[in-house]
Copies of this chain bind each other. A is one copy, B any other.
Amino acid sequence: MSGRLAVIGLGPGDPRYLTAEAAGALVEADALYGYGPYLDRVPIRAHQERHPSDNREEAARAGEALRHAAAGGRVAVVSGGDPGVFAMAAAICEQIETGPDAWRALDVVVIPGITAMLAVAAQIGAPLGHDFCALSLSDNLKPWPLIERRLDAAARAGFVIALYNPVSRARPWQFGNAIERLRRELPPATPVVFGRAVGRPDERVEVTTLGAADATPAGTVAVDMATLVIVGTRETRTIVRPGLPPLVYTPRTTAEASI
């Protein structure tokens, strides 16, 4: 007997971001796996097992969930945001590729969710309105020089840059280094958006500029693990509105033939 494994995107931390498909899949599961704080967002249901685990335990969590599904369970693995963006869907695929043959026969579905950059962008206007990229600043899984090369390439080519995992206790200097690097390629007036805990009660979205974005704890904007940063291009604009937060957007049109 073989079960089913659903990798479910919860979106940012508020039920309003949940899709109908994700809500349905959460109800159908008889076991839930996930990083503790994400699992805590799912309402408790009788007869539904819960298996919270720690951050950074993605591979072990994926293996456990796959074993459970292969034994016939209807298993859900929950992710914040979208499971395919720096989250559990790739970890599940890695385990399937290297695991027992039976795992390749499993019914695996991935259910998309609102990823952080879309939620933060929506809160402030349309900063991702033109070509853009998503880059994780974590050098746990890739070498820092590669991240630097990607930052340089993206800024030079005129992509808006969404930075995931900008900083953590174990990675205190990476974000500051990235900002320094981007300052070499982009003007100081380039808009930068900091979105923290979007969809949660302590949500904060702030707009600053590349010149003023200070990465130190004493800086104007505090950045942490729950922050998503969007760095604009030379064409990104800020609309000041009296009595309302500004709107930041990147125009759909560019006449710029050379950068």
Contacts and interface: CB of A to CB of B under 8 A. Distances in A.
A45 interface: no
B143 A249 contact: no
Interface residues of A, number: 83
Contacts of A126: 83-84, 89-90, 92-93, 110
Contacts of A150: 131, 157-159
B122 A112 contact: yes
A184 to B, nearest CB: 16
Contact of A242 (B17, B83, B105, B156): B105
A57 to B, nearest CB: 13
A125 B112 CA distance: 11
A105 to B, nearest CB: 7
A133 B130 CA distance: 11
A106 to B, nearest CB: 9
Contacts of A11: 19
Nearest to A90: B129
Nearest to A253: B141
A229 to B, nearest CB: 14
A146 B254 contact: yes
A76 interface: no
B82 A118 contact: yes
Interface string A57-78: 0100000000000000000000
Given A82-B118, A104-B242, A105-B242, A249 B158 contact: no
A17 B119 CA distance: 15
B119 A133 contact: no
A12 to B, nearest CB: 9
A172 interface: no
Contacts of A135: 131
Given A149-B157, A157-B149, A158-B146, A94 B257 contact: no
A192 interface: no
Given A17-B20, A18-B19, 4 more contacts: A93-B247, A105-B244, A131-B150, A142-B253
